[in-house]
Amino acid sequence: MNLSIGLVVESFIDFLLINFGPLFALIAQIVGGFMGGVESLILSLPPIVLIIVFALVAYLLADKKVALFTIIGFLLIFSMGLWIVTMQTFVMVLVSASIALFLGIPIGIIMSGNKFLDDFLTPALDFMQTMPPFVYLIPAVMFFGIGNVPGVMATVVFSMPPAIRLTKLGLKQVPDELEEVGTSFGSTPLQMLVKIKLPLALPSIMAGINQSIMLSLSMVVIASMIGANGLGEAVLTGIQRMQIGIGFEAGLAVVILAIVLDRITSGIGQSKA
Amino acid sequence: MKKLELKNLYKVFGDDADKGVRLLKEGYSKREVLEKTGLTVGVNDVSFDIKEKEIFVIMGLSGSGKSTLLRCLNRLVEPTAGEVKIDGKDLTNLDKESLRQIRREKFGMVFQNFGLLPNRTILENAEFGLEIQNIPESERERRSKKALNQVGLEGWEDQYPDQLSGGMQQRVGLARALAVEPEVLLMDEPFSALDPLIKKDMQDQLLELYEELDKTIVFITHDLDEALKLGDRIAIMKDGEVVQLGTPEEILTNAQNDYVKEFVKDVNRSRILVADDIMVKPLALLYSNDGPRTAMHKMKENEISSIFVVGEKRKLKGIVRVEDALEAVNNGQNNLEGLIKEIPVARPEKSIDKLFSNIAGSDIPLPVVDDNNKLLGIIVKSTVLANLAEGGM
Ligand SMILES: Nc1ncnc2c1ncn2[C@@H]1O[C@H](COP(=O)(O)OP(=O)(O)OP(=O)(O)O)[C@@H](O)[C@H]1O
Ligand SMILES: [Mg+2]
CATH 3.40.50.300 fits B2-267, yes or no: yes
What is the predicted pLDDT for the residue at B391? 54
For ligand 2, the distance from its centroid to the CA atom of residue B222, given in whole angstroms, is 9
**Which atom of ligand 1 lies at the shortest distance from residue B30's CA?**
29
Query: Mean pLDDT, to the nearest integer, of A172-199?
Result: 95
Could you tell me how many helices (H) and strands (E) chain B has, helices first?
Answer: 17, 15
Give CA–CA dist A264/A269, Å, rounded: 9
User: Is B134 an interface residue toward A (CB < 8 Å)?
Assistant: no
Question: A177 contacts in B (CB within 8 Å)?
Answer: 111-113, 115
- Burial-class residue B59 by CB neighbours within 10 Å (0-12, 13-18, 19+): buried
Q: Taking the alpha carbons of B43, B47, B52, B57 in that order, is the dihedral positive or negative?
A: negative
Position A22, amino acid: P
**Tens digits of pLDDT across chain B (393 residues):** 899 999 999 999 999 999 999 999 999 999 999 999 999 999 999 999 999 999 999 999 999 999 999 999 999 999 999 999 999 999 999 999 999 999 999 999 999 999 999 999 999 999 999 999 999 999 999 999 999 998 889 899 999 999 999 889 999 999 999 999 999 999 999 998 888 778 888 898 899 889 888 899 999 998 888 998 899 999 999 999 999 999 988 888 888 888 888 878 766 454 567 788 788 888 888 888 888 888 998 888 888 889 999 988 889 999 999 898 889 888 888 888 888 888 888 888 887 777 777 777 788 888 999 888 899 888 888 777 777 766 544
Q: Does B287 contact ligand 1 (Cβ within 6 A)?
A: no
Give CA–CA dist B356/B353, Å, rounded: 5
What is the predicted pLDDT for the residue at A10? 81
In a domain, A2, yes or no: no
What is the predicted pLDDT for the residue at B270? 45
Asked if pLDDT for residue A169 goes beyond 70, the answer is yes
CA A95 to chain centre: 8
Give CA–CA dist B310/B376, Å, rounded: 11
Give CA–CA dist B119/B98, Å, rounded: 30
Q: Which pTM was predicted?
A: 0.76
**Which atom of ligand 1 lies at the shortest distance from residue B240's CA?**
14
Q: How many domains are contained in chain A?
A: 1
Cβ separation of B115 and A188 shorter than 8 Å?
no
Domain ranges of chain B: 2-267, 275-390
What is the predicted pLDDT for the residue at B392? 44
Partner-chain residue, chosen from A178, A186, A200, that has the shortest CB–CB distance to B132? A186
User: Is B210 an interface residue toward A (CB < 8 Å)?
Assistant: no
Query: Could you tell me the end-to-end alpha-carbon distance of chain A, in angstroms, rounded to an integer?
Result: 56
Give CA–CA dist A80/A273, Å, rounded: 38
Best of B41, B44, B66 for a ligand 1 pocket test (most atoms within 8 Å of beta carbon): B66
Question: B115 contacts in A (CB within 8 Å)?
Answer: 177-178, 180-181
Cβ separation of A184 and B113 shorter than 8 Å?
no
Q: Which residues contact B292 (CB under 8 A, 6 or more apart)?
A: B320, B325, B326, B328, B329, B333, B334, B335, B336, B339
Cβ separation of B104 and A184 shorter than 8 Å?
no
Strand order of the sheet with strand B306-310? B285-287, B306-310, B316-321
- What residue numbers bound the domain in which A146 lies? 7-272
User: Is B98 an interface residue toward A (CB < 8 Å)?
Assistant: no
Q: Does B330 contact ligand 1 (Cβ within 6 A)?
A: no
Partner-chain residue, chosen from A181, A184, A195, that has the shortest CB–CB distance to B107? A184
Q: Does B170 contact ligand 1 (Cβ within 6 A)?
A: no
Mutate to test the interface with B, among A176, A183, A184, A204 (most CBs of B within 10 A): A184
Q: Which ligand is nearest to the CA of B20?
A: 1
Strand partners, B108: B185
Q: How many CB atoms lie within 10 A of CB B172?
A: 27
What is the predicted pLDDT for the residue at B5? 95
Average predicted confidence (pLDDT) for chain A: 89
Domain with A185 in it: what CATH number? 1.10.3720.10
What is the predicted pLDDT for the residue at A273? 37
Give CA–CA dist A168/A109, Å, rounded: 6
Contact B65, B237 (CB under 8 A): yes
Residue in chain B nearest A273 by alpha carbon: B119
What is the predicted pLDDT for the residue at B272? 62
Position B169, amino acid: Q
Q: Does B216 contact ligand 1 (Cβ within 6 A)?
A: no
Q: What angle do CA B314, B318, B320 make, to 5 degrees?
A: 115
Asked if pLDDT for residue A234 goes beyond 70, the answer is yes
Give CA–CA dist B89/B5, Å, rounded: 9
For ligand 2, the distance from its centroid to the CA atom of residue B223, given in whole angstroms, is 13
pLDDT digits (tens, 9 = 90+) for A53-107: 999 999 998 889 999 999 999 999 999 989 999 999 999 999 999 999 999 999 9
Give CA–CA dist B369/B286, Å, rounded: 16
Strand order of the sheet with strand B2-13? B40-51, B2-13, B81-86, B89-90
What is the predicted pLDDT for the residue at B63? 92
Which own/partner pairs from A50-58 qualify as long-range (CB within 8 Å, at least 24 positions apart)?
Answer: A50/A74, A50/A87, A51/A75, A51/A78, A54/A260, A57/A264, A58/A260, A58/A263, A58/A264, A58/A267
Asked if pLDDT for residue A272 goes beyond 50, the answer is no
In a domain, A1, yes or no: no
CATH superfamily of B275-390: CBS-domain (3.10.580.10)
Residue in chain A nearest B77 by alpha carbon: A180
Mutate to test the interface with A, among B119, B131, B180 (most CBs of A within 10 A): B119
CA distance A189 to chain B (A): 11
H-type alpha helices, chain B: 17-25, 30-37, 66-73, 96-106, 122-126, 128-132, 137-150, 166-179, 196-213, 224-230, 248-253, 258-265, 275-278, 292-302, 322-330, 352-359, 381-390
Q: What does residue A71 show for φ and ψ, rounded to 5 degrees?
A: -60, -50
The CA–CA distances, whole Å, from B319 to B129, B298, B299, B380 equal: 43, 13, 12, 14
User: Is B180 an interface residue toward A (CB < 8 Å)?
Assistant: yes
CA distance A113 to chain B (A): 17
pLDDT digits (tens, 9 = 90+) for A11-27: 888 888 788 888 888 88
Best of B59, B67, B186, B222 for a ligand 1 pocket test (most atoms within 8 Å of beta carbon): B67
DSSP, collapsed to helix, strand or coil, labels residue B55 as: strand
pLDDT digits (tens, 9 = 90+) for A130-160: 888 888 888 888 888 888 888 999 999 999 9
Residue in chain B nearest A176 by alpha carbon: B115
Q: What percentage of residues in chain A have a pLDDT greater than 70?
A: 97
Q: Does B383 contact ligand 1 (Cβ within 6 A)?
A: no
